[in-house]
Amino acid sequence: ILLFLIMQPTFYFAIGFAILCDYDIFAIIFLFLKTADVATKILLIEQIFTKKSLSQEMSLILLSPIDSFLPYMGLIIYPILIALAI
């Protein structure tokens, strides 16, 4: 897990950005989204590689179809939140 956290520079950017913007509401939203993203990835890593099993909820989420726009939402949401926080 430590190696995974080292490989997440955007998470550290979000923490530093929230501090530099004096904890503006948009910077906090940005930090919350990145924290939820990292926590979900850690949960998946733990369930798949450590426990060797996946919960029913996670398997339903992973098997559900993804809209073609969803992977690109971060390209729209993150710059808008950064611009609003500045």
Q: Which residues, in sequence order, are CB contacts of 19 under 8 Å at separation 6+?
A: none
pLDDT digits (tens, 9 = 90+) for 34-51: 999 899 888 888 888 888
How many domains, in total, are found in the chain? Answer: 1
CB atoms closer than 10 angstroms to residue 44: 14
pLDDT digits (tens, 9 = 90+) for 46-68: 888 888 787 788 788 888 888 88
pTM over 0.75: yes
Domain that holds residue 47: 2-85
